[in-house]
Every structure is written in structure tokens, then in C-alpha cells.
Amino acid sequence: MEIRLWRELLVPYELAVKELVMKFHQLKKEHKEKDLYCPIEEVSGRVKSINSILEKMQRKQISWDELEEKVEDIAGIRIICQFYEDIEVVAELIRRRRDMRVLEEKDYITHMKASGYRSYHMIIAYNTETLEGCREIRAEIQIRTLAMNFWATIEHSLQYKYRGNMPKHLAERLSNAADSILQLDAEMSSVRNEVMDAQNSMLHQSNLVADILNNIENLYHYSNKREVAKIQDEFYRIYETKDLEQLERFHRELDIIAEGYRAQALSQDMGNGSSI
């Protein structure tokens, strides 16, 4: 029998998971920097354990030659959203990307599994560079809400414990819990706009504060320290009022002040250079 070099087999999948997680985190960062609501709440990834791969091959009667084609979730990415509506937004973001190709989509939200499992799955082809060159591998992206993920995590643990023979009373309780999760997601969707407005406001204020403090720190290095101390005290006074309009006005005024100091410092440097 041919020796199976598992470590060698899984290296491209490990690389792909790291790269994909990083790319989705970057997507979150770009939304934040532009004061935009991000439909992605959390991102995680994993490479399927050898034990799980072998179990799946046995359960689905997959041969060794079919392993990388038919075990589509060796590389797995999980994207968690706050709201049900965000799932389709994330799926569309993935469809539009040029660095990954969607091979298949499985909608277990509209077509919920008998167990109560709900999630949106996308099988993608992704290219990663290895020592041997470019490798196209398959990865499964699961997109679900926080509530769906909580239910799925519990269900997965119980399924593992009972090896697919879960007691009837537990299966019924899980099914009832799935109905509650459905109601919870619907209830949260009803306040989605209000939550998004609140989160966008918080994000906007956070970015304003970061810009203001960055400007103050820059001013400290090339302007009058006493004046900078006054500006900083004024910032803290405005910050304590919790008035976003005042904070925005202060931010605009500070930009003008900082630009003036920068121009003055540049002029002095040029003057010093010309006298040499």
C-alpha cells in the first residue's frame, strides 16, 4: 500500500487558510477605515484534522484518488455575521472577488437541514504558492449568524459524542432550540437599522478621536509645546461633552491648524537649507 504523506498533503491547505483569513480580516479593516458598516463580524479558519478526513472518507466511501476532489472542506473558513441579511452581502462580496472562484453554493438557510442546522456554504477554488509551485485547492466557506453559529457548535459537539446516534429527546430539544434561533435572528433583523446606525456612529467617533490624537502628537514634535497642551486640554473638554458635532468641528479646525504649522515648519527648513 502506498505511504500517505499527510504533512505534505496538508501544507497547501494550511497556507490557503492563513491567506484567506488574512484577506477577510483586511476586508473588515477597509470597511472600518472608510467608516462603513462591515457585514463580517468574525473570521476564523482551520484545516480539517486527519481523523476527521478519514472518518468522512469512510462514511462517504471516498477513495484515496478522490480525496482532494470530494473532501471539499479540508480547508475551512467560517465567517460570522450579526444579521441574517448580512449573509447574502458577504456571499456577493466573495462572488465578485477575482482571487477565488466559486464552484458551488449550498443554501442550508432557505433549505434548513432536518436537524435544524442553518448556514450558507460556498465551495471555492483558491490558488496558493508552495515550494513546488502554484496549487489550486478547494476550500469551504461557511457563512452564518452569531445565533446560528452558537447552535451549530453545540450540535456538532453532540453529534461527535453520539457518533450520529443522538438520543431522540436530545434531537428534539435541539430542534426546538433551532426554532428559537430562527425567531432570534428574525427579531434582531427588526432592529438592524438602529443597531447599524449606532455602530456606525461609534466607529465614526473612534476614527475621529484617532485622527485628532495623531494630529496632536505630530504637532508636539514641530510646534509650541504650550500651545499643543492647550489644544489637547480643549480636545478632552469636548470629548467629555459626548457631542459628536463639536468633535467633528474640532477635528476640522485642528486639521487647518496642523496644516499651518506644517507649512511653517517646511518654510523654515527651506530657509535654513538656502543659507548653507
Which residues are catalytically annotated? 140
The beta-strand segments (E) located in the chain are 42-47, 75-81, 100-107, 120-130, 133-145
C-alpha dihedral (193, 205, 203, 22), degrees to nearest 10: 170
CA–CA gap between residue 238 and residue 249 (Å, rounded): 10
The three cell numbers of residue 146 are 452569531
CA atoms within 13 A on the CB side of 187: 7
Helix, strand or coil, per DSSP, at residue 66: helix
Q: What b/e sequence results for 253-268 when a residue is b if at least 16 CB atoms lie within 10 Å of its CB, and e otherwise?
A: ebeebbeebeeeeeee
Strands 42-47 and 133-145, bridge-based pairing: unpaired
∠ CA 47-161-42, rounded to 5°: 40
| Region label for 10, one of left (φ > 0), alpha (ψ between -120 and 50) or beta (otherwise) | alpha
The beta-strand segments (E) located in 169-214 are none
